[in-house]
Amino acid sequence: MKESLYQYLLLLGDNAMILGHRLSELCGHGPSLETDIALTNISLDLFGQVRNYFQYAAEVKDDQEKTTEDKIAFLRYPHEYRNVLLVEQPNKDFAFVIARQFFFDAYHLLLLKELCKSKDEQINAIANKSIKEVKYHLRFSSEWLKRLGDGTAESHDKMQAAVNYLYPYVGELPSESPIEKEMKEAGIGPDLGVLRTAYFAQIKSTLAEATLETPQFFGFHSGGKKGVHSEHHGFILSNLQYMQRTYPEMEW
């Protein structure tokens, strides 16, 4: 059970870490100062959540190698990361950033609401702390989605193109992996089947408000939860892991 809980914590933390890194790449490159700062703050929120998950994961691991949050974050091999494929997609343009953020935020908030009921006290506490931040994240991304989708013809077309490109990745978020099934049965994680219905209903409703079409798509990309990632993932890890692998055991 300890190993399953450890893997579940990685699954929760890796999504936030990889997306947080993607947003950090935008620092100084936002379309306006206010938006730039907002995206950076969302990135910092996500990294704060990652620390909470990985600190707990290090306690759960309790092995002879003295696992720490830094080792979990920076010294795993690519196939050991459990993030979904959506969060590793690149920052093609601002519309892509917003679409990716909205698709993740909508799921993330639903997930945290369920994790607030978790029988695991630590996960329960992390979810209750994080949910305030994620409510803001969803408000930010959904408002921008509507602003661009229902804006000029050019902004509408770019937003629709981003939605069309990223939509095939959203199905992996509420798809239940063996670890998530085990956590559901233990009362630690939610029933993703129930969450899935609410998630797609919210996506469809928000896209309609933004005058955007929900893509008619019946097959979704997956593999991230099993450690099978896109080519983008390796480049992300090369940036994230450089310092720790170049200077082992380095401390600030």
Q: What is the mean pLDDT of residues 72-86?
A: 94
Domain ranges (residues) in the chain? 2-246
Which own/partner contact pairs does 27-32 have at CB distance under 8 Å and 24+ positions apart? 30/94, 31/94
Of the candidates 110, 235, 103, the one whose C-alpha atom is nearest the C-alpha of residue 172 is 103
**Per-residue pLDDT at 251 exceeds 80:** no
Of the candidates 185, 226, 220, the one whose C-alpha atom is nearest the C-alpha of residue 200 is 220
Q: Could you tell me which residues come within 8 angstroms of residue 209 by beta carbon, excluding any fewer than 6 positions away?
A: 146, 150
- Structural class in CATH, domain 2-246: mainly alpha
Q: What is the pLDDT of residue 2?
A: 86
pLDDT 10s digits, 111-131 = 999 999 999 999 999 999 999
Which structure tokens are listed for 94? 């601002």
Of the candidates 148, 19, 142, 14, the one whose C-alpha atom is nearest the C-alpha of residue 91 is 19
Q: What angle do CA 211, 215, 219 make, to 5 degrees?
A: 160
Q: Is 116 helix (H, G, I), strand (E, B) or coil?
A: coil
Q: What is the mean pLDDT of residues 184-192?
A: 96
Q: What is the pLDDT of residue 239?
A: 86
Is 224 within 8 Å of 85 (Cβ atoms)? yes
Q: What is the pLDDT of residue 64?
A: 58
Is 126 within 8 Å of 53 (Cβ atoms)? yes
- Between residues 29 and 161, which one has the greater pLDDT? 161
pLDDT 10s digits, 86-106 = 999 999 999 999 999 999 999
Of the candidates 6, 37, 40, 36, the one whose C-alpha atom is nearest the C-alpha of residue 23 is 40
Q: What is the pLDDT of residue 248?
A: 78
pLDDT 10s digits, 217-237 = 767 899 999 999 999 998 999
Q: What is the mean pLDDT of residues 61-71?
A: 79
Q: What is the mean pLDDT of residues 49-54?
A: 97
DSSP annotation of 251 reads -
User: Taking all residues of the chain, what is their mean pLDDT, rounded to a whole number?
Assistant: 93
Out of 9-23, 133-147, 229-243, pick the least confident: 229-243
Q: Work out the pLDDT band at 252, boundaries 50, 70, 90.
A: low
DSSP annotation of 1 reads -
pTM of the full predicted structure? 0.94
Q: How many CB atoms lie within 10 A of CB 105?
A: 22
Q: What is the pLDDT of residue 243?
A: 82
| pLDDT > 90 in the chain, percent | 80
Q: How many CB atoms lie within 10 A of CB 6?
A: 21
